[in-house]
Structure 1
Amino acid sequence: MKRIKCQKGFTLIEMMVVLLIISVLILIAIPNVTKHSATIDEKGCEAYIKMVQGQVEAYRIDEKSIPTIVELTTNGYLNEGETTCPNGKPIQIDATTGLVSETPAEPEDVS
């Protein structure tokens, strides 16, 4: 019988070490990604509020009044269905000042 002298490839131990290293890297990376998603949503909401504030100012210049969210969408200043922050929270426009803000959360009933 002839012996094969030049065998190339990875052993089972080498493959298991590589998989262990990849698993550890994934376990380190996933918590960081989930932690940053809340920050990303918050910053996205801040940017969206600034954009809507700009649209409110444009409406005030054109129409000489403070708009509601519905008026902004019907007159084409905002797209339909884009009246909430990226995190899903609705926004509101103060009727006296025209300032745009995130709608505050309702307090929970602790009975």
Structure 2
Amino acid sequence: MNQKGFTLIEMIIVLFIISILLLITIPNVASQNAVIKSRGCEALIKMVQAQLQAHELDADNINTDGTYTAPTLEQLKTEGYIETTSCPGGKSLIINPTTGKVEES
């Protein structure tokens, strides 16, 4: 009886190699989680800033002195311009009243 197949030793070696690869990759994936969250927040800030400019083009919030009155984030959310007012990491967003830019709080 000459059957082709894996022996028990070969299977143990394969499982050992797979476990070593997993031990190498799992800490790297976990350490990149903070980077992903921060970049997600940066992207959300840029998107909300663009939606703020879209609202400025759509709305007629120009004062008599020629300045624009920026809406709050809640107004943008209720009018359908944005879906959320917080970053993936849990930090809230605000609109700086002096500069009109969207920032993390």
TM-score (norm 2): 0.85
2:38 is matched with which residue?
Answer: 42
Contact 1:56 1:98 in 2 (8 A): no
Unaligned runs of 5+ in 1: 104-111
SS in 2 for 1:71: helix
Over aligned residue pairs, what C-alpha RMSD do you find? 1.2
Out of 76, 83, 106, the residue aligned to residue 85 of structure 2 is: 83
Out of 7, 14, 29, the residue aligned to residue 3 of structure 2 is: 7
- AA partner of residue 88 (structure 1): G
1:51 is matched with which residue?
Answer: 47
Q: How many residues align?
A: 97
Contact 1:55 1:77 in 2 (8 A): yes
**How far, CA to CA, are the matches of 1:9 and 1:74 in structure 2?**
64
Q: Which runs of 4+ in 1 moved over 6 A?
A: none
CA positional deviation for 1:7: 2.1
**How far, CA to CA, are the matches of 2:23 and 2:46 in structure 1?**
36
TM-score (norm 1): 0.80
Unaligned runs of 5+ in 2: 63-68
CA positional deviation for 1:42: 0.6
Identity across matched positions, percent: 53
